[in-house]
Amino acid sequence: MMLNPGNPHSNFPREINDEEPADWWKELNSKPASSFGTRPIKPHPVKAHPYRRRGRRFRHGQRAAALRALTGARLYLQGAVPSLVAAAEACGSNPRYVEAAVIVLRSEDTVLLNHVLSGTVPLLEAAKGAKRVANLVAAFRAASPTDCSHVGSIVGVTAVWDSMISPII
């Protein structure tokens, strides 16, 4: 389609006057650059939930993501899967969550585990706090009676009693 200079509906300019700029050019230069592309913002009604979350976060009162990660961690600890990645894929979780669940399970802290499942403590924070406890429990379980007596003689009976036994009495 060719533009016809005589056609009133054409985009072709009718007159070209180099001496005086067009009206749109004057308007363009009179506005600051920051005003382009802006329009008045209409207030939106306030909604309690602006969008609907995909999927359920809790199932039967338990945090769904934590439950999937704990299931993957149990599979990994039982040797049913060869790696954390395989455990995560088998349960629909991710390797970082499964690794955190392994730490929580190795700490053998059932109260912490219940808090994670109920959603009151995030799984990653629970694992961060339970890592030392898990290492202590693993070392204690792996130690022989002679190792335990040797550690008791190094640390001292009063330190073991005051730090491990008397807080739970």
Is a pLDDT exceeding 90 seen at residue 150?
no
| pTM for the structure as a whole | 0.62
156: pLDDT confidence band, cut at 50, 70 and 90? confident
What is the average per-residue pLDDT within 88-112?
Answer: 94
Give the burial class of 73: count Cβ atoms within 10 A of its Cβ; 0-12 exposed, 13-18 middle, 19 or more buried. Answer: buried
Angle at 62 between CA 113 and CA 105, to 5 degrees: 25
Nearest to 103, CA basis, from 68, 81, 128: 128
- Residue 24 or 77, more confident: 77
DSSP assignment, residue 58? E
The domains of the chain are located at 58-163
Give the helix ranges, DSSP H, for 8-144.
Answer: 23-30, 64-78, 84-91, 95-107, 110-118, 123-142
Q: Which residues are CB-contacts of 58 (< 8 A; sequence separation ≥ 6)? A: 64, 119
Average pLDDT, the chain: 80
Is a pLDDT exceeding 50 seen at residue 39?
yes
- Residue 111 or 163, more confident: 111
DSSP assignment, residue 63? E
